[in-house]
Amino acid sequence: MSKAAEIDIVSVSKVYGTTTAVQSISLKIPAGSYCCFLGPSGCGKTSTLRMIAGHESISSGDIRLGNVVVTDFPPAKRGTSMMFQSYALFPHLDLIDNVAFSLKMKGVDKDTRRAKALDMLKLMQMDAYATRRPAQLSGGQQQRVALARAFITDPEALLLDEPLSALDPFLKIRMRAELKKLQKTLGITFVHVTHSQEEAMALADLIVVMNDGRIEQAATPRTVFERPATAFVARFMGDHNVLSGRVVEQNGDMMTIEAPEGLRFSARGEGRPVGASADIGIRMDRVRIGDASEKTLGFNGIVSNVEYRGSSVKLTVLGAGSDDFTVLISDTDYFKTPVSVGDAVPLSWADEDVILLGRVN
């Protein structure tokens, strides 16, 4: 396999007519890393992947692969290989000819390309099916063939567009483990587009959260989970509550934020003038049901929903200007003092569990 390459995206935009799909994004993807672009439909993640691949022209900015600016290169000259969501296998060709197809286009002789295709199928544990056609395979098997075809060109980076979306839940989890193992074994750069937070957390060294054509945060999974940069990331990752209000006091590095209903909360942070709007994030699993002591913050809310999840129970509470404030507690704690829809409950959390959230300009 060829050496992995760093991918450097420099002020890249994509405009379709009057619509800007990607707005001047810059990002370095380290060589040999597993990077996941994550975000809702229409956020620009697939357009970004297609611009890296060369399947989509760049409206402005540059893309560098290793030390080479590839902005104007056709896909075949970039050193990248793309695996499409649909797998795009040829139904009339057997697996060897499917995998060998790009080498055939490059004029490689039949024996050489078929031998290499068989090596790739062995790597994917699909050599026993070499003479079958795609229609005779399961979804997971087709995916392995598509991966073998992507690897045959010795790419420096493999680009994957929602590669697991067509698989059933059990196969998804198994293929996730296989993708991670492959990436570690081959050592090449993987760039993977997904809308699944769980998938990105399980696979990535670097998660890039996109929204409305911009990058909201690019960081390790742990950082994105524990320290979301913006209210969008906090909500999208689904593990933080977001409360909004205005700064009413700044005392050293502590600020006081007034939320609806006149409630006041503290957060560590600077640089926001009094009167400015501010968002804070509170981890759902750090919220407690019970009266606040002097060292904690909180509010009284009304329970609007209770979901039993086996090892945990998810409560949704109305209050502090939020109609979906969420509390995740262990099943043991919940059943010690169960609550029902309509109950008034005191919620509390420690001030170190509050994050001041930033905003994307």
pLDDT tens-digit series, residues 302-330: 999 999 999 999 999 999 999 999 999 99
Residue 168 to residue 165: CA distance in whole angstroms: 8
Residue 290 to residue 315: CA distance in whole angstroms: 14
Condensed to tens digits (0 to 9), the pLDDT of residues 7-18 reads 999 999 999 999
**242 class by beta-carbon count within 10 Å (0-12 exposed, 13-18 middle, 19+ buried):** buried
What is the percent of the chain where pLDDT is above 70?
Answer: 97
Kindly state whether residue 194 falls inside one of the protein's structural domains: yes
What is the average pLDDT across 92-105?
Answer: 89
Domain range enclosing 342: 231-357
Question: Do 194 and 299 sit in the same domain of this protein?
Answer: no
Computed over every residue of the chain, the mean pLDDT equals 90
Question: Do 138 and 245 sit in the same domain of this protein?
Answer: no
Query: Which of 193, 210, 226 is at the close of a domain?
Result: 226
Pick the range with the lowest mean pLDDT from 44-53, 108-117, 292-301, 315-324: 292-301
Q: Which residue has the tokens 């600077």?
A: 270
Q: In this structure, what are the phi and psi dihedrals at residue 13, rounded to the nearest 5 degrees?
A: -125, 155
Question: Do 137 and 253 sit in the same domain of this protein?
Answer: no
Question: Do 184 and 310 sit in the same domain of this protein?
Answer: no
What is the average pLDDT across 57-66?
Answer: 95
* SS3 per residue for 79-123: CEEEECCCCCCCCCCCHHHHHHHHHHHCCCCHHHHHHHHHHHHHH
Question: Do 219 and 349 sit in the same domain of this protein?
Answer: no
Condensed to tens digits (0 to 9), the pLDDT of residues 198-212 reads 999 999 999 999 999
Residue 112 to residue 98: CA distance in whole angstroms: 14
The residue with greater pLDDT, 85 or 19, is 19
What's the domain count of the chain? Answer: 2
CA distances from 72 to 30, 52, 56, 106 (A): 22, 11, 11, 20
Kindly state whether residue 2 falls inside one of the protein's structural domains: no
Kindly state whether residue 327 falls inside one of the protein's structural domains: yes
What is the average pLDDT across 14-43?
Answer: 95
Query: Which of 226, 261, 282 is at the close of a domain?
Result: 226
Kindly state whether residue 1 falls inside one of the protein's structural domains: no
Quick one: pLDDT band at residue 1, thresholds 50, 70, 90?
Answer: very low
Model pTM?
0.88
Quick one: pLDDT band at residue 73, thresholds 50, 70, 90?
Answer: very high
Kindly state whether residue 53 falls inside one of the protein's structural domains: yes
Question: Do 86 and 214 sit in the same domain of this protein?
Answer: yes
Question: Do 12 and 139 sit in the same domain of this protein?
Answer: yes
Question: Do 90 and 218 sit in the same domain of this protein?
Answer: yes
Question: Do 154 and 269 sit in the same domain of this protein?
Answer: no
CA distances from 254 to 146, 246, 268, 272 (A): 53, 14, 5, 11
Does residue 62 carry a pLDDT above 80? yes
Residue 182 to residue 274: CA distance in whole angstroms: 52
CA angle 356, 277, 37 (to 5 degrees): 55
Residue 210 to residue 226: CA distance in whole angstroms: 18
Query: Which of 199, 226, 253 is at the close of a domain?
Result: 226
Q: Is 62 left (phi over 0), alpha (psi -120 to 50) or beta?
A: beta
What is the average pLDDT across 95-120?
Answer: 88
How many CB atoms sit inside 10 A of residue 343's CB? 14
Kindly state whether residue 267 falls inside one of the protein's structural domains: yes
pLDDT at residue number 87: 74
pLDDT at residue number 293: 61
Say what the alpha-carbon torsion angle 196, 199, 202, 208 is, to the nearest 10 degrees: -60
Task: Kindly report the CATH number assigned to the domain that includes residue 26.
Answer: 3.40.50.300
CB 180 within 8 A of CB 34: yes
Task: Kindly report the CATH number assigned to the domain that includes residue 297.
Answer: 2.40.50.100
Write out the H or E segment, with its range, that includes residue 38: strand 34-38
Amino acid making up residue 3: K
Residue 158 to residue 192: CA distance in whole angstroms: 8
Residues 6+ apart with CB under 8 A from 184: none
Question: Do 209 and 248 sit in the same domain of this protein?
Answer: no
Kindly state whether residue 282 falls inside one of the protein's structural domains: yes
**What is the DSSP secondary structure assignment for residue 302, as one 8-state letter?**
E
CB 55 within 8 A of CB 63: no
CB 337 within 8 A of CB 346: no
Question: Do 68 and 102 sit in the same domain of this protein?
Answer: yes
Question: Do 164 and 261 sit in the same domain of this protein?
Answer: no
